[in-house]
Amino acid sequence: MNVKTNTLQVVHTIEQLRRLLDSMDRSSSTVGFVPTMGYLHEGHLELVKQAKMQNDLVVMSIFVNPTQFGPGEDFESYPRDLNRDSKLAEEAGVDIIFAPSVVEMYPNDGGIRILPGPQANKLCGASRPGHFDGVLQVVLKLFNIVAPDRSYFGMKDAQQLALIETFVRDYNIPTTIVRVPIVRENDGLAKSSRNVNLTSKERQEAPVIYQALQKGIDWLLESVSPEEVERRIAEFITSTSSGAIDYVQVLDYPSLGPVTEETNEMIIACAIKFSTTRLIDNIIMSTKGGYNVSNDDEQ
């Protein structure tokens, strides 16, 4: 590799980023890409760790993308702190941060849209119309700008990951998607930039989400039906916390279709709304042990 940054470089324009990347010999070096919306936590830093192990240079984007937020969602209040993020990224070994403005990313609007397939109509997509249109829009732009060899996504956003893997496959986008497992707090709560918005009481209650998902695994292994597992998880969360259920679903992964006899992996996924904060979490389990989807709800 011809260029290796000794210290973190933060750039704000596409031209600046491309100039840095064009100075590399891409025939003998690789770029790992970690897309984020900032306010970094250990989950993001685990993505960086994986990218550093597998690539010569690591690029992180920090961009709160307005096109994936719907009316009334938390675009304005989403936490932002580039100075804090830059320090954490530099300590983790990021070489370049790309932190564009909204105008830099969306200077024009020609009206062309990306429409996700049926995977987008489940889970978060069912209650956030247009969300994944915006996700795929910004991801495609970032892939075109960075041209990464590998791109790193956390399993916490499992629906997003499934859509991006499908998008990359179906449209021959020249990057390899690397899945990185969920990073959790000691009490099981999935790391999220939104956790800072929980009240102290809500933060104490939030680990019930992961506890419920673990119970869901146990029930599935006992051959309880997916529908009954969904009901039990929802009941457990609402009876032990102030969280309101957005969804609890047990689906085939990564198709996000119904569980069938042909299912090799299942996802138990949920979204829970506290007063001002919506949290998502999931567990993916293998069905190779012979899960029987035909057993009745009473088992």
Laid out side by side, the sheet with 176-180 consists of 9-11, 96-98, 57-62, 31-36, 150-154, 176-180
Cβ burial, residue 120 (10 Å; 0-12/13-18/19+): buried
Non-local (6+) Cβ contacts of 172 within 8 A are none
Report whether 272 contacts 209 (CB < 8 A).
Answer: yes
Looking at the DSSP bridge assignments, the partners of residue 58 are 32
Amino acid identity of 18? R
Q: Are 63 and 26 in contact (CB under 8 A)?
A: no
Q: How far is CA 24 from CA 1, 217, 269, 282, in A?
A: 6, 47, 41, 38
- Do 113 and 129 meet the contact criterion of CB atoms below 8 Å apart? no
Is residue 44 flagged as an active site residue? yes
> Cβ–Cβ contacts within 10 Å for residue 223, how many?
14
Of 8, 32, 44, 138, which is the active-site residue?
44
Decide if 226 contacts 250 (C-beta within 8 A).
yes
- The SS3 call for residue 128 is coil
User: Cα(134)–Cα(119) distance, rounded to whole angstroms?
Assistant: 15
Detail the residues annotated as belonging to a binding site for beta-alanine.
68
Going by the annotation, the residues of the binding site are 37-44, 68, 154-157, 160, 183, 191-194
3-state secondary structure of 203: helix
d(CA 154, CA 80): 20
Whether the bond into 254 is cis, omega within 30 of 0: yes
Q: Catalytic residue positions?
A: 44
